[in-house]
Amino acid sequence: SQEYRAPFNNNCLLYSALMFCCGRSGPPPSEPQIVISAKTMAVQWGDWMGAWKAEEGQIDVEADRLSRAQAAFGGETMARMKDINVLILGCRGVGVETAKNLVLSNVGSVTVWDPEKATAQDRGANFYLTESSVGKPRAAECLAQLKSLNPYCKVEALDAPEAKLPACLSEANVLSTGRGYGALVVTELLPQQLLVALNTEARSKGIAFVLAVNLGVTASIFSDFGPRHVITDEDGEPTQMLAVGAAEVIPVGGIVKVSGAKEGDKILVLSLASDHALQDGDMISLDDMRGDLSGFNGKQFKVRRFCVLSPTECNLDVKDVSTKEMLKSPTSEVLSNFTKQYDYFKAEFDKKGGEGKFKQREITLFNRLVIDLDEADLAKWSAYQSGGLVNSVKPSITKEYQSFEQSLVFTPNPQMMDQEAWHGGEGCWVHLAIAAALQFRNDKGKWPALLDDGDATELLNAAKKISEENKSKEGACWLQKIEWGFPSGEPLEDLAPFEARFKRFSKLFAAELTGLCAFLGGAVAQEVIKKTGKFTPIEQWIHHDDGILVPDNSSLGEYAGTRYQCQVAILGTAFMDAIKKQRVFLVGCGALGCEYLKGLALMGACTAAGSKLVVTDMDRIEVSNLSRQFLFRQSDVGTPKSTSAARVVKGWNPDLQIEALEKGVGTTSEDFFDDAFWTSKDLCWNALDNVIARKYTDKCCLWYGLPLLESGTLGTKSNSDVFLPGITKSYNDGIETDANENQIAMCTLRSFPYLPLHCIEFAKQAYFSDYLEFAPQQYESFRKDMAGFFEQLDAMGEAEQFKSLKMIKKIIEQQKTGAMDFDACIRAAFDHYCADFIISIRNLVHQCDEIEKSSGKPFWTGTKRRPIEAKWDAKNPPAEGLEYLYATANCYAFMWKVPYVRNRGEFQRRVEKLDLQVPAWSPPAADGAAKVEDEEEGDKVDPAAIEALKGELYGVDVKSLKAAEAHDFEKDDDTNFHIDFLTAGTNLRAANYDIKVSERSTVKVTAGRIIPALATTTAMICGLVDLEFMKIVLGKHKEEGAKDKFYNANINLATGSQAMNVFRPEEAIIKKTKLPGSIAEFTAWDKVEVRGELTLEALVKELEQKLGSRVDRLFPAGNDKVNIYDSTQIKKLNWKIELQDGKAVIDPEEVYTAWPQLKMAVQMLGRLPEGGARKNFENQVQAAAKSLQSVKDTFAESLKKPASEAYVAAARPTDDEEKQKYFDAVHSKRSYVALQVYMNNPEGEDAETPIIRYTFR
């Protein structure tokens, strides 16, 4: 998966994006059916497990492959996709890209049609054609590779003459699926009459019709979902699930304002546990209502916002902490407080004479919601006590689309991806160029030829004629002035620029670019999936044109008739010579990396002697990668990504000079990725999935002055960035959002969950992390090195110390009961079952009931649900209990290296034989009740209890203890019991609190932090980045106005045309130093250069001279925890600690800050006579004086030493021999060090300064 940088919240996406149902397999044939009904949950023994299925070979590999896609689409959409049969016409670049992405997406079937004979130049964009394919039908030559992409998607070639294609759409049993075609994708311009016939037939049969063509540097998409298409989910964003905290019926009036309600109307106001984002008139459904209100469950209602009037002068801020706290009160109390505030300010206004109008504003309380109910239903809500969920409902949208024939004429200002170009009417000439090409084909019986001037003139004339004819048609497309996107009706005054573009369009009409083919193939494959009703289709036409790629003159030269013919026709022979010599560093070889490797191989990059493409990735191929990392197959699972991918693309282009590495790129690999490595590269190309690595490569590019290409995806969303030395901002200049912004309060997780998400998070954070990771890690640390353990224990907080010691003690006690065999693992699992789902529930209920009694107020109200303990019957164990024990005991078996017991029948027999009994319970201490609702402070622990536990463990003979192995969470391995454990724990906790159970797949996505990832989005964004790479090869970043020749992109394929945007990169951020020196301002690309071996003192003076202020601190770049130079040490050169005539002389007073014990010594020396006691204090003064002198000598000496030695003394690790060796290896290769300074300007303000490159040899 790849990170996507955009300002939206991921947390709810992680949980809500995947709410699908897995197909449930029964037990393997070798086992008897074991079904145990449980009152708490309707679950069959084995329902929540994947481990036993994996062992028996019953794992759903298809579901595993598609787990990341399911996280984006959801199970319902994935199921509907299997009903879509797709016909793709054309198998050049766009066709094969579209087919690849649809096959990976797992639609029902893909049929490709292209009887044309493959040519050598087709291999510039079609990666499945080989040298031996030339002269053979294109579709047939691609078939085997397309089939190998996904064994679960049917793929075949259609054998039919062109004229019969419309009739083929009537096929009712495509590839024996029992269904007809659901979508038609045309990937090459066909004769206009045929296109119209195909579109007409598709519209009549409810078949989605999509046209996607790459014509030179122009890419165009037309989408037609017919005269009636229903969109069930317009954007794919998760709906809101809001917990109800209170329900009150109140009258409208006074300060209460509700849209559509009049004075005196009664309304139902729901108080919510979190803010909503709903508008007046939006629909919601109610769920989880209890008692008399259960009849409202599943029903849909309109909602309105709840507003109050507030005096403008009082500046009410509903985000203020105190106001937010007050809003948690009942609505009646909130209104009472606001009314008092309103009345006060109104009275003050009236006192002053009341001149003018009393200014007031309407404020929405976003934690309140008004539900539209009739009067009879309103009365029922007096029964509300607790619980309830509000789920936002997305309305269905029905849309009607124009036909191809209509839209070709009546699209007055066709959309461009470049919004500025669109607003200026640039889409008109592209639209007319396509219409002219179709007319050219009708008139000439052929398409415009490559680089043919005569055909270019003909097409220009046709375009001008069509424009002139359209001028008289209302709402038609013609060459008129477009201002801010609106047609003016006035003809363009200067047609010369457009005439040149029409000619360029014609001359390059026959050429494809691999980048634009990849972009189109990803975009239109996603468009096909919208046939399911999920996501918004493109609003008919959208164009993109990147003319900056085309030089003034192009010729084919030696590349005529070769695989590079199209590319050279567009970009020129000089480009081809340059791209062959490129030296590229590609970081990452996942979904993004596979696409980029494909593009580089097809472009012919890094194919000359002395060039090189270096790709690195530490990961190995997993099953879940196969749905989008298209270079890999099932047989590659377990092999390194980088070497496997390199093998494939080297096969496509044997001239490719590629080196595959399995090394991480970061601060721990600078001995390999050193100066010689970085300075040998022309650019860095990121294909990464995490921010830390991205920031690191960006810092390297800033240091070495290299261009950086960057991109990321999240489901249907994607972005790309070009970072150019000295021209654009850097990746590190971006603002990172706070990942903990929406963190769930621990009190909610621990004691008062009310959403399935809360149960999943607690199972991951408390059950798995504590029992299977933290506990064995702490135990092993104790067992291997008791002294070291207690030393590091002191660095923990008290609560963490107490937890660590308790868990270690528990593990030791388990070993005292007998051998650590599988029965011991079952007993350990049962201990957790009792503690977490029975005893803790009894304790909580008892404590909270006590609170209720003492306060006289109901406690179990709103979102606080009174929990119910889990059931246990040793003779007839409940199914959910067996699920939990099975997963947990086997997790313990791994920990203790005990053989698993996977057979469920055998497992159940063992459990029943052990006759496990819930331990006796006694009410907890009375003081426990006070802790229940404390969510601000951490757990408070009695230090005496910690010391007592330490004392017990000090007496343990560690030699007698058995080794344990901590778990390392892995979500994609169904044999390891991890997701089984989390699912069982999640749903037992959900049953405790009467919360809906979660599917195993939902638990996997949420607990595993699975990021939605799609082949379509990846291919699309990577294609656009390929074009930016071409511009760098052309040297566009070194030309005047370079920034305006590149594009960044931010695209969401779910929302149609609304979010398909390319735009210019942002300029480099200029920072002011606020210093009087020679450097007034700088960007992240700038450095302060200091050359020559200098003493530290000389280096500091040099920097002070350059920057114009005193250096307060000098430290290694990126590590301000150590100092190479600290100006406060200069003051210490004048400090004095002496004994004169029996008196201590301390000067100045600051000395006491460094040696506070001297205060007592000075006082006592003034009082004590000669003797042993006085001698002790004299010794203290003399020791401090010696220490001060050592500080002076060391600092004075460091000032005179070479600055490079001072750097080593400060930066070199002191505690780890391996780290020291690594530091020495890196430092020995460098002739410089990177430094930073901290200084103030003369006014005392903090100054910003560039990084310093100090070259000392």
C-alpha 103: how far from chain center: 25
Contact in structure between 279 and 268 (CB atoms under 8 Å): no
Return the number of other C-beta atoms located less than 10 Å from residue 506's C-beta.
31
Contact in structure between 711 and 1022 (CB atoms under 8 Å): yes
Residues 6+ apart with CB under 8 A from 428: 413, 414, 477, 478, 479, 480, 482
Tokens, residue 336 = 């009472």
Strands 183-186 and 208-215: parallel
Nearest to 674 by CA among 19, 1167, 1229, 41: 1229
Tokens, residue 147 = 């089939």
Region for residue 445 given its phi and psi (left: phi exceeds 0; alpha: psi -120 to 50; beta: otherwise): left
Residues 6+ apart with CB under 8 A from 1006: 14, 15, 757, 760, 761, 998
Distance CA 545, CA 431 (A): 11
Does the active-site annotation cover 747? yes
Residue with tokens 């996505």: 1005
Nearest to 861 by CA among 334, 388, 366: 388
- Residue 439 DSSP SS3: helix
Contact in structure between 629 and 584 (CB atoms under 8 Å): no
Nearest to 841 by CA among 746, 706, 969, 750: 750
Contact in structure between 1043 and 723 (CB atoms under 8 Å): no
Q: At what angle do helices 573-580 and 1015-1033 cross, to 10 degrees?
A: 110
Contact in structure between 121 and 172 (CB atoms under 8 Å): no
Q: What is 1207-1219 written as a DSSP string?
A: HHHHHS-SS-HHH
Q: How many helices (H) and strands (E) in the chain?
A: 44, 36
Residue with tokens 């031996």: 132
Report the sign of the C-alpha dihedral through residues 537, 539, 541, 547, in that order.
negative
- How far CA 918 is from CA of 166, 303, 879, 907, 1257, in Å, comes to 71, 48, 17, 19, 74
Distance CA 59, CA 23 (A): 11
Contact in structure between 693 and 665 (CB atoms under 8 Å): yes
Distance CA 402, CA 412 (A): 13
Contact in structure between 611 and 582 (CB atoms under 8 Å): yes
- DSSP strands (E only) in 902-1045: none
Distance CA 194, CA 1151 (A): 93
Given the residues 606, 747, 825, 1022, the one annotated as active site: 747
Residue with tokens 């002198």: 1189
Distance CA 1053, CA 105 (A): 14
- Residue 1122 DSSP SS3: coil
Q: Which positions are catalytic?
A: 747
